[in-house]
Structure 1
Amino acid sequence: MNKATYFIAALILGFTMSAQAQSSKARTQFRPQHSASEMQAASEMGSVNTMSQRQEVLTVKTIPNPWVTLEPTVGYVSSTFTGIQGTNGASVDAVSRMQAGVNLLVGRGMWQLESGLLYSQRGGQMNGLLSLDGTQKADIDFALTYIDVPVMARFSWPHSSRSHLFARAGVVAGFLTDAKADSKITTNSVWGAITNSESEDLKDSFNSTDIRLALGLGYDWKFAQRMGLIVQADFQESFSKINKDNILPGRDMLNRGIIVSAGFSIKL
């Protein structure tokens, strides 16, 4: 070969080695760029084993906590009267009643405002009520019916969007819709004791509104994202008398009751 051929071959070899060196340097300097969130997700991916766990890492789902919750409930009421024990020798016993309706919760987090609309039965049993001359003795079963509107504050532990214990306190306004009394009257005479049964409408003998103190505890167990099962117990007692002066004059009759109820919580 002549000198020109050697020179051309040397140039080709030099260009080839230079191109290889530049390619190797570019590969060494290149690094893919990742965001901080991608780097955190990749780190968390390394600590989980199952496909479902990895899906939770990659897909973050935010479930909002709604402002409004409905609570349809039904419950048992142990109801009695205070303030009339010992009237003409009578004793007062509790009676079984029922309550049903819907509560409305407004707010989210640990504090909520509670109201609602409930059909509520109340009453009490007076036994051994003697007449003034002592010749008659009456056993009277009072049955009162109210539409109740509670206004209460509720506090939840730890948070109202998860299964939790809660306490509530406030007042209940009861609007009287019906009042009756079923009586068994025993009359003593020279011919013996005679018992008669009577039923009387007493709506005009009771005040149309009953304002009560209300205190309660309950538990809300969440079995779905927006639904739960609630169990609760409440104590209620009237602030002022419920009877008018034409029945048991001189006595202040007050409602007192313990309510145990269950139902559902539905977040809207």
Structure 2
Amino acid sequence: MKKSLLSLSLALISVVAFSQASVGIGLKAGANFANADVTDVNTDGVTSYHVGAYGLIKLTNIGIQPELLFSKQGASASGDDLDLSYVNIPVMLKFYLPAGVNLQAGPQFGMLTSAKDGDGDDIKDSFKNSDLSAALGAGWDAPFGLQFNARYIIGLSDINDNPFGTEYKNKTFQLSIGYTFFKLGK
């Protein structure tokens, strides 16, 4: 295992050193404005947060940015809040325009870590353990290591674990700021 990791690291460093590629690692955090599409139920949004790490592999004007995020999501219906916590893994394809401005799109895979109702009761068994979403957004990678992003994440899978219940799909608008603290290449 150690030899494989070392070999992969050396190969990545070689590719970066002899090409127009760059590799970066950073941390990010921001606000979530979450809601849900629920069959026959009107819901209100909730405001929460996300925090995590990202890697960025950039080749001239195309980049791939996988992330590992802890994300608080949910919705409110009839004054009762639903608090969902996820570990999300978005894999964003970034198309760079001039000056670091970029358009982003990609899938997001989520793993439910907790679900609580407005009284704080555990209702995790009422939801599926995974969530599949599509993410679309735009951002700016500043030349001094900062990233600013805005994304809309559209739930593709029904996360309600009751086959006879209403359909429940997450949707979240995110604003985030990140900082690339390690960068190798251009």
Quickly name the TM-score band, shorter chain normalised.
Answer: 0.7 to 0.9
Contact conserved, 1:238 with 1:256, CA < 8 A, in 2? yes
Equivalent position SS for 2:180? strand
Q: Which ranges of 4 or more aligned residues in structure 1 deviate by more than 4 Å? A: none
- Sort the Cα spacing of 1:250 and 1:204 in 2 relative to 1 into closer, same or farther, 3 A: closer
Equivalent position SS for 1:92? coil
Equivalent position SS for 1:204? helix
- 1:179 and 2:115 equivalent? yes
- Trace 1:146-157 onto structure 2 (pairs within 5 A): 146-157=86-97
Whole-Å separation in 1 of the counterparts to 2:20 and 2:49: 32
- 1:219 and 2:140 equivalent? yes
Percent identity of paired positions between Structure 1 and Structure 2: 30
Equivalent position SS for 2:43? strand
- Sort the Cα spacing of 1:177 and 1:65 in 2 relative to 1 into closer, same or farther, 3 A: same
Aligned to 2:130: 209
Deviation at 1:69, TM superposition (A): 1.2
Q: One-letter code of the match for 1:146?
A: Y
Whole-Å separation in 1 of the counterparts to 2:31 and 2:172: 10
Give the strand-richer structure, 1 or 2.
2
Aligned to 2:156: 239
> TM (normalized to structure 1)?
0.58
Whole-Å separation in 1 of the counterparts to 2:103 and 2:40: 31
- Trace 1:1-268 onto structure 2 (pairs within 5 A): 66-86=21-41, 91-127=42-78, 139-158=79-98, 163-182=99-118, 198-223=119-144, 228-245=145-162, 249-266=164-181, 267-268=183-184
Contact conserved, 1:84 with 1:92, CA < 8 A, in 2? no
Whole-Å separation in 1 of the counterparts to 2:20 and 2:143: 13
Whole-Å separation in 2 of the counterparts to 1:152 and 1:220: 14
Q: One-letter code of the match for 1:70?
A: I
Deviation at 1:250, TM superposition (A): 3.2
Count of aligned residue pairs for this structure pair: 165
Give the structure with higher Rg (CA): 1
Aligned residues: CA RMSD: 1.7
- Which of 1 and 2 has higher RCO (CA within 8 Å, sep 6+)? 2
Give the helix-richer structure, 1 or 2.
1
Deviation at 1:108, TM superposition (A): 2.1
Whole-Å separation in 2 of the counterparts to 1:76 and 1:199: 22
> TM (normalized to structure 2)?
0.82
Which ranges in structure 1 are unaligned for 5 or more consecutive residues? 1-63, 128-138, 183-197
Contact conserved, 1:220 with 1:265, CA < 8 A, in 2? no
Equivalent position SS for 2:59? coil
Deviation by residue 1:78-134 (Cα, 9 ceiling, x = unmatched): 000102343xxxx3100001001111112321111121211111100011xxxxxxx
Which ranges in structure 2 are unaligned for 5 or more consecutive residues? 1-18
